[in-house]
Amino acid sequence: MRKIDKSPATIVSTKYKEWIDKLKPPHDGNYRYYYDDVIMNLFKCQGGVCAYTEMYICIPALYKDDRWAKGRYLKKQTDPTTTKKDHLAELEHFDPLDKKDKYWNWDNLFMIHSTINERKSGTNPISKIKPDLADYSPDKYFEYDDITHRFIPNQNIEDEKLLGEIWHMINNVLFLNHGVVIRYRKNYIEDLRLKQSWGLPVKLDEFFTSVKMALGVE
């Protein structure tokens, strides 16, 4: 799970930003006027991958720069071969407790794979292991086992409580070791490793953290 920049400078849906800055809780999900503005801006921040597993979940055409005008996401698609549904994601509230009264809070929102969102639903996360925090770094908490292609806690951590929290995040919140995710990730890394051995150029579009840890490629 790589670090995600969601700082104010990354918000191109500025009309949503103006609205949420003035909005006071409680606010719920029934008001969906800025829904597309939010989810597409999140895709843009995340580079089209799941914020947790880093699986590819959204085509770049949906969040490229020309999809916004005057601070709003354009409803009408300029490319007839794409639709707003050309993604495999759902809007995720990192802390489910904030969902009831602060549904549209930018700092609590990510786009994640719909299956992962279904599995994670209602599970309380560890707040300090959150990918948009200023001091977050995947190396601080995780290591990648290149044999089993699973994520494990950083082996330099001696604090048993923190180790338990990291395992909780890996298995119950982020689903980094979900069987299907492992299979896709393993095949992706092995393909990149083969290209490396042949001296071919390597281009990354998903699984950035595991590729960096396994192959040293960024």
Q: What pLDDT digit, counting tens, does each position of 85-118 carry? A: 789 999 999 999 888 899 999 999 999 999 999 8
Range of lowest pLDDT (83-92, 126-135, 154-163, 164-173): 83-92
Q: How far apart, in Å, are the Cα atoms of 15 and each of 35, 147, 156, 163, 179?
A: 12, 47, 45, 41, 40
| 170 close to 151: Cβ distance less than 8 angstroms | yes
Q: Is residue 68's pLDDT more than 70?
A: yes
Closest CA to 129 of 84, 78, 163, 158: 163
In whole angstroms, what is the distance from residue 96 CA to residue 127 CA?
11
**Can you tell me the distance from the alpha carbon of 18 to that of 110, in angstroms, rounded to the nearest whole number?**
19
Distance CA 8, CA 45 (A): 11
- Does residue 130 surpass a pLDDT of 70? yes
**Residue ranges in the chain assigned as alpha helix (H):** 14-22, 35-46, 114-120, 138-141, 160-168, 179-197, 208-215
Catalogue the E-assigned strands of 30-141. 68-69, 72-73, 89-93, 109-113
Name 196's bridge partners: none
Q: Give the tokens for residue 152.
A: 């494990």
Q: What is the mean pLDDT of residues 171-191?
A: 96
Token pair for 90: 């759902």
**CA R_g for the chain:** 18
- For residue 207, give the nearest of 193, 116, 194, 186 by alpha carbon: 186
Residue 52 — pLDDT band, cuts 50, 70, 90?
Answer: very high
* pTM to 2 decimal places: 0.94
Q: CA-to-CA distance for 66 and 2, rounded, in angstroms?
A: 26
Round to whole Å and give the CA distance between 136 and 46: 15
Number of H helices, E strands in the chain: 7, 6
